[in-house]
């Protein structure tokens, strides 16, 4: 037992796992980010990453109904079938995101969402029930086109 105590008291010959200079650099980076964010708040700088407001040019209420992990059925607000997708792709992702926000907000049922196209190119899925909003144009042209097809169908 005294042998183990002697080993524990002996200084280690191994190098530190994280170099001290790297730790100081990480601390400096965190403090710099805090200083920049604090300066932005104190000087009341405008938010530059916020989407510009626009005027709606097209809008449609749709109901997204999940049938399985990949399949989704899309209805208009009257219950008319718009699309029945066995492999919904991005539409399924949107449906899952809306459903998650409704679960968090404790929304019962499946009320319609608004798909809105703005004059500045934005395409947004808005859920009035939960307050969720998804900027669909930010997910690439292919995904944006998939949702635009729902907006443009009669």
Check if the beta carbon of residue 58 is closer than 8 Å to that of residue 116.
yes
- d(Cα 31, Cα 42) in Å, to the nearest integer? 16
Question: What was the pLDDT predicted at 9?
Answer: 66
pLDDT 10s digits, 9-38: 666 666 668 888 999 999 999 999 999 999
Domain edges within the chain? 2-42, 56-152
pLDDT 10s digits, 89-105: 899 999 999 999 999 99
103's enclosing H/E stretch is helix 90-104
Check if the beta carbon of residue 148 is closer than 8 Å to that of residue 64.
no
Q: Which residue has tokens 């809105």?
A: 116
Q: Which residue has tokens 């992990």?
A: 69
pLDDT 10s digits, 98-131: 999 999 999 998 999 999 999 988 899 999 999 9
Check if the beta carbon of residue 75 is closer than 8 Å to that of residue 65.
yes
Band of residue 4 on the pLDDT scale cut at 50, 70, 90: low
Question: What was the pLDDT predicted at 152?
Answer: 81
What predicted TM-score, i.e. pTM, was given to this entire model?
0.66
């Amino acid at each position: 037992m005294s042998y183990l105590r002697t080993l524990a008291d002996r200084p280690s010959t191994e190098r530190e796992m994280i170099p001290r200079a790297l730790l100081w650099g990480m601390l400096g980076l965190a403090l710099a980010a805090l200083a920049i964010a604090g300066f932005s708040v104190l000087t009341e700088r405008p938010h530059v990453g916020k989407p510009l407001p626009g005027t709606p040019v097209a809008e449609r209420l749709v109901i997204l109904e999940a049938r399985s992990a990949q399949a989704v059925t899309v209805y208009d607000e009257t219950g008319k079938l718009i699309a029945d997708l066995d492999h919904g792709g991005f539409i399924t992702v949107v449906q899952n995101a809306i459903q998650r926000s409704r679960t968090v907000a404790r929304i019962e049922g499946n009320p319609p969402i608004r798909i809105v196209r703005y004059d500045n190119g934005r395409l947004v899925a808005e859920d009035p029930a939960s307050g969720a909003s998804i900027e669909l144009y930010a997910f690439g042209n292919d995904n944006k086109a998939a949702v635009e097809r729902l907006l443009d169908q009669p």
